[in-house]
Amino acid sequence: MKTQKTPDKKTETCKYIFVIGGVISGVGKGVAASSIARILQDRGKTVTALKIDPYINIDAGTMNPTEHGEVFVLDDGYECDQDMGNYERFLNINLSKINYMTTGVVYQSVIDKERNLEYAGKCVEVVPHIPMEVIRRIETARDNAKANVVVIEIGGTVGEYQNMLFLEAARMMKIKYNRDVFFVMVSYLPIPSKIGEMKTKPTQYAVRTLNASGIQPDIIIARSKQSIDGPRKEKISMFCNIPTDRVISAPDVESIYDIPINFEKEGLGDMICDVVDMTCGPAFGKSAKEWQKFAGSTHSPKEEVHIAIIGKYFNTGDFTLSDSYLSVIEAIKYSAYALHRKPVITWLSSVDFEKDPKKIKSLSKYDGILVPGGFGSRGIEGKIKAIEYARKNNIPYFGLCYGMQLMVVEYARNVLGLKDANTREINPKSKNLIIDVMEDQKDKIKNKKLGGTMRLGAYPATLLKDSVAANAYRAKNISERHRHRYEVNNAYREDLEKAGLVFSGVSPDGHLAEIAELPNSKHPFFLGTQFHPEFKARPLSPHPLFSAFVKACIKSNKK
Ligand code: GLN
């Protein structure tokens, strides 16, 4: 029976490292998991990474970015948690749908299999069938990547009801199926201000709770404001059943890119290779040096480049704000660092430009303006005003998805003179629907089939020779990731082109506008993409369009 195929004796040498969070969420478990994966990859291992989220949601596409953070999109179109972006960026690999699962996805597969009689008349139970489906997915991800190390991050914190079945899957993998399974607990050590001392008790409790699930951590990563000292390492060792040297200090750092390097310096790489009994290459080999060079570049730039991001998903404070547009920020950073600049990113709410139109002039102090992806009507007119300001004042402008659609609307309104130009998403009654719904989306919207049904994932595009886009990519054919329901209305393309806008990237059949731009002779940089280039920007290979944008910003530098 397919679902039961997991062998119960050791037949392979793959190592499975589960990363589990203790005490509180938000301590950088995802970055810790990515960093562990990275240092093992640097030591010559073929590594893949999975994230398990406890939600019932089938994907992250239906979650609000202000609550859950950015929705990351994979090549295969799967809408997932932003941690998947961290894995792709740290490991410089492309992941797929199988590398991400939620409670909802796992239950749905089990129920589908039950309906298909795949359980051969057996009573299907929460345990073992749900954990077994989790294990099957982990193994499929391993096979797809031909990995010899699989890093699996279990979302949530130890002690939560929601992730218990995932811990059970990990336990079963180790005990029942005799796999080489190891546990890293990323814990948090508070330093209460009134006491002024780093406290280990919450970690002790977290480990005991984990023990109750039949799991003993092999390594504890001690996240805190500062480094953990000897006496506290001893305490954790004593009460958490772990040798002192298996407690790894992980103080707050300025740059997340330093974390793999700090882990190596703390001896984590050697320790993991030893604990999991695996022959690994040396620390700080050739590929680690490339990472070190990149991490070093994030500290040194003296000159700044000032970029304003105009969005709306940041009304719950700074912390959420940066998470909503995580990949965009990362993409800007990689290009800025590669160009030896410190990126200074300012968040502006487009709603403010609507409330106080005079505020638009404040945009003059930025070297560049970016409007990222988005949905719905709030703040739209403010975004259009900002785009108009950038166009008229020769400020480099980069529009991503919605930012491209609104750029075309702005051009239609103010250059073509179609005053009521709009996108159907905002005003279906407009006579000039410059951006219209894609044909295959009509039924989906009508029948409210809205989850996972946009035009999602990687699609190819062909670039126009000598355009700004083609010069940036230095290529004719590209592939980029998408997430949209609306598109440039072809009925207006000719008029827009006559008025000077260039569609420099189109789908191979020419039907879909993928990139709109003004030529260099007319504007220093005025370009929008229907796709999301930010999802493919990597620390060690910055995205060509972001680099072209940041270059233009540097050139236009006003300070
Ligand atoms: N709301 C627009 C659409 O669905 C743009 C989407 C986006 O920016 N990701 O087409």
pLDDT tens figures, 250-277: 998 888 999 999 999 989 999 888 888 8
Confidence bin at 63 (pLDDT 50/70/90): confident
Q: Which of 264, 410, 425, 534 is catalytic?
A: 534
pLDDT value at position 556? 87
Ligand 1 in contact with 480 (CB < 6 A)?
A: no
Question: Quick check: 387 pLDDT over 50?
Answer: yes
- In the block, which residue shows the tokens 């806008």? 501
Ligand 1 in contact with 153 (CB < 6 A)?
A: no
What one-character-per-residue DSSP string does 267-315 give?
THHHHHHHHTT---PPTT-HHHHHHHHHHHHTT---SEEEEEEEESS-T
Question: 531 C-alpha vs ligand 1 centroid, how far in Å?
Answer: 9
Neighbours of 119 (CB within 10 A): 18
Q: What is the mean pLDDT of residues 120-127?
A: 93
Confidence bin at 322 (pLDDT 50/70/90): low
Q: What is the mean pLDDT of residues 328-350?
A: 94
pLDDT value at position 446? 83
Ligand 1 in contact with 156 (CB < 6 A)?
A: no
Residues contacting residue 139 through CB under 8 Å, at least 6 positions apart: 6
| Residue of higher predicted confidence among 6 and 119 | 119
Ligand 1 in contact with 257 (CB < 6 A)?
A: no
Q: What is the mean pLDDT of residues 279-307?
A: 90
Yes or no: say if 180 and 186 are a contact pair by the CB < 8 Å rule.
no
Question: Quick check: 66 pLDDT over 80?
Answer: no
Which residue has the least CA distance to atom 1 on ligand 1?
375
401 is catalytic: yes
Ligand 1 in contact with 375 (CB < 6 A)?
A: yes
Radius of gyration of the chain (CA): 25
280 is catalytic: no
Which residue has the least CA distance to atom 9 on ligand 1?
373
Question: Quick check: 558 pLDDT over 70?
Answer: no
pLDDT value at position 62? 86
Measured CA to CA, the distance from residue 548 to residue 553 in angstroms comes to 9
Confidence bin at 2 (pLDDT 50/70/90): very low
Q: What is the mean pLDDT of residues 298-314?
A: 86
DSSP run (H or E) holding 51: strand 47-53
523 is catalytic: no
DSSP state of 124: P
User: Given ligand 1 and candidates 402, 406, 441, which is best to mutate, with the most ligand atoms within 8 Å of its CB?
Assistant: 402
Question: 450 C-alpha vs ligand 1 centroid, how far in Å?
Answer: 13
pTM (global) more than 0.75? yes
pLDDT value at position 352? 87
* Mean per-residue pLDDT of the chain: 91
Q: Which of 133, 532, 543, 553 is catalytic?
A: 532
Ligand 1 in contact with 531 (CB < 6 A)?
A: no
Which residue has the least CA distance to atom 6 on ligand 1?
484
pLDDT value at position 276? 83
pLDDT value at position 4? 43
Percent of the chain at pLDDT exceeding 90: 76
- Ligand 1 atom with the smallest distance to the CA of 425 is 1
Tokens describing residue 165: 């079945």
pLDDT tens figures, 474-511: 999 999 999 999 999 999 999 999 999 999 999 999 99
pLDDT value at position 319? 46
Question: 98 C-alpha vs ligand 1 centroid, how far in Å?
Answer: 25
Could you give all domains of the chain from N- to C-terminal order, each with its CATH number? 18-296 (3.40.50.300), 301-558 (3.40.50.880)
pLDDT value at position 9? 44
Yes or no: say if 385 and 357 are a contact pair by the CB < 8 Å rule.
yes
Question: Quick check: 315 pLDDT over 90?
Answer: no
Ligand 1 in contact with 485 (CB < 6 A)?
A: yes
Residues contacting residue 194 through CB under 8 Å, at least 6 positions apart: none
Q: What is the mean pLDDT of residues 124-150?
A: 95
